[in-house]
Amino acid sequence: MTTIASAQTQQARSGTRRMINVAMPTIGYTILVIFALIQILPFLFTISNSFKCLPAIQSYPQSLVPVPPVDVTCEPTIIDDAGRERKTVLPADETSKELTFNPTLDGYREIFDQKLPRWLFNTAFVSLGVMFLRLLFDSLAGYSLARLKFPGNRIIFFFVLSLLMIPGIVLLLPRFILLKEIGLLNSYPALIIPFSASLFGVFLMKQFFESIPKELEEAAMVDGAGRFTIFFRLILPISTPAMTALAIFSFQGMWNEFLQVLLLVSSKSELWTLPLGLSFLRGEFGEQLRWHSFLAGSVITTLPLALIFFMFQRYFVEGVSYTGLKG
């Protein structure tokens, strides 16, 4: 009898354990999915509203489908601030009065009629320039701190870690004064040179290089390879995860940069980037902000970063994980 009771108790405990093992991951994934939906919902509304006409965006309640409520009618003809006539698609059939899926591209047309192509070129040019320079300088500095044992090595790294604690906004005024004194304000070098290296990039690359076995370099030295040969032909090819993470961080940071670009090139609209250009749309369109154009510009600004991250997210996660392997 005791044996049977013990077996039943053990079976009950085993069943409870299985239920917990199934329930806990299910609850965890459910919470993550809900959190992900909360994060992505504003972006979905941005995309949807970028395909709506202006009255539909200003109507209530909002809808993820780019059609307005029944009592809202998009204007068949719009006269913009420049006196140009635009045709829009009515979202409701005028005969049946039923809603139909008829998105409009007026927002995208208006934003491209501004200086969006120029802003897009400037943003891509500056972001790519900063990204490639950081890959070069940060990796060289990180490798030097990780492998070269010179006097002051630890002190320099200590200052790198210390300066990481200083907010970037503290450097705005000194950087502005320096660039003004050497005559680089309102130029491409003003947007690239001051950002061509980053302390975080040096830290990231140093941590990754320290995780690479030294035996690989020692074997290359036995074969007669020098430091630069080892770095460019051996170390960099196996540093793809860290280099990709650094490239994404650098590109994303400059692509979204607003305050420093405003300070350095605000008086020359030919050098504006997408974030700065979008902030001036209110002045371009007059007192009433044309939300469909503004949201279309926001979608164009966001999509490249989203695509880049989804394409290289594996390398990004691997690279970031290496920063905690060695201290």
pLDDT tens digits along 193-205: 999 999 999 998 9
Confidence band (pLDDT; 50, 70, 90) for 92?
very low
pLDDT band at residue 68 under the 50/70/90 scheme:
low
Tell me if 107 sits within 8 A of 47, measured CB to CB: no
In a domain, 238, yes or no: yes
67 falls within a domain: no
In a domain, 308, yes or no: yes
The residue among 87, 116, 111 whose CA lies nearest residue 291 is 111
**Is residue 187 in some structural domain?**
yes
Q: 204, 245 in Cβ contact below 8 A?
A: yes
Is position 77 within any domain?
no
DSSP per residue, 259-285: HHHHHHHTT-GGG--HHHHHHTHHHHH
Determine, yes or no, domain membership for 125: yes
Most confident of 13-17, 18-22, 65-69, 145-149: 145-149
| 301-315 confidence digits (pLDDT tens) | 888 888 888 887 777
Q: What is the pLDDT of residues 179-195, one digit of tens each?
A: 999 988 999 999 999 99
CATH number at residue 251: 1.10.3720.10
138 pLDDT exceeds 90? Answer: yes
Is residue 101 domain-resident? Answer: no
Could you give the CA distance from residue 296 to residue 196 in angstroms, rounded to a whole number? 30
What pLDDT is attached to residue 11? 61
Binned at pLDDT 50, 70 and 90, residue 93 comes out as very low
Contact between residue 70 and residue 92 where contact means Cβ atoms under 8 Å apart? yes
pLDDT band at 85 (very low <50, low <70, confident <90, very high): low
Backbone phi, psi, residue 79, to 5°: -105, 115
List pLDDT tens digits, range 252-293: 899 999 888 988 998 888 899 998 888 877 655 555 667 778
Which residue segment(s) compose the domain that 319 sits in?
Answer: 113-324
Distance CA 216, CA 211 (A): 12
53 within some domain:
no
Task: Show Cβ contacts of residue 123 under 8 Å, excluding neighbours closer than 6 positions.
Answer: 254, 255, 273, 274, 275, 301
Task: Count Cβ atoms below 10 Å from residue 76 Cβ, excluding itself.
Answer: 12
Domain tally, the chain: 1
